[in-house]
Amino acid sequence: MATLQASAHATSTNRNLTKGAFTWKFYAFYAFKVYTNSPELHLLTSRIRLENPMSAPPFDVSKADRWFAVELNNKTWDWLEAGDYSQPNAERMVYAAHACCHHWFQVGGPENHARGECLVANSHAAVGESDSALRHARRCLELTSEHRDALADWDVAFTYDALARAHAAAGDKEATAKACSQAQEAAEEIADNGDKEFFEKWHAAGNWHGLSKLIV
């Protein structure tokens, strides 16, 4: 009998707890519905959306994209030519190259995209990240081949130079030598002497990961 009474008491208690939990959930749900339909919440949400700087930038986005593309391109080449690929310089250089490519992707043509990929490939190759360097160098070569008419004569030489550096970062001597030869052949087609000298200076510099002797 005592057992039955205890069981009945427990059952009654459980029912009360269940009822209480249901009541709490009902009022919580009701309060949530009332609050989410309140004008105050909608006003707050509207203010957040209106004041979000990403929804209405206070500048010309296209001009900003072009400015950052040029600025980041020049900065990254400065860092590449400086030759200091230690941390944190390496990270800064690689991130800047990717950002440059992104901004050109927004406002540039295929020639800008190809040059952005070339810059990214060079940056990864300089710091020894061969997989990323090869992926972007090959993408650069694809763009250069597909849009040859839109590019300058020196673009081809720089494309093969980036590919050679990517192979050098991977330690592939044969592939490095082949791409170097292709870069040098393309350099012979550069009409402007100033552009040719600039390429030759860069081609002989930078981080070749111990394979600079392959450059003839």
Per-residue pLDDT of the chain (216 residues; tens, 9 = 90+): 443 344 434 444 444 444 444 444 444 444 444 444 555 444 444 455 555 556 778 899 999 999 999 999 999 999 999 999 999 999 999 999 999 999 999 999 999 999 999 999 999 999 999 999 999 999 999 999 999 999 999 999 999 999 999 999 999 999 999 999 999 999 999 999 999 999 999 999 999 999 876 675
Output the six-digit token pair for 117.
Answer: 């990929």
Distance of CA 106 to the CA centre of its chain: 13
Model confidence, pTM: 0.74
The contacts found for 171-179 with CB under 8 angstroms, 24 or more apart, are 171/130, 171/209, 171/211, 173/211, 173/214, 176/208, 176/211, 176/214, 177/214
CATH number among 1.25.40.10, 1.50.10.100, 1.10.390.10, 1.10.8.100, domain 61-214: 1.25.40.10
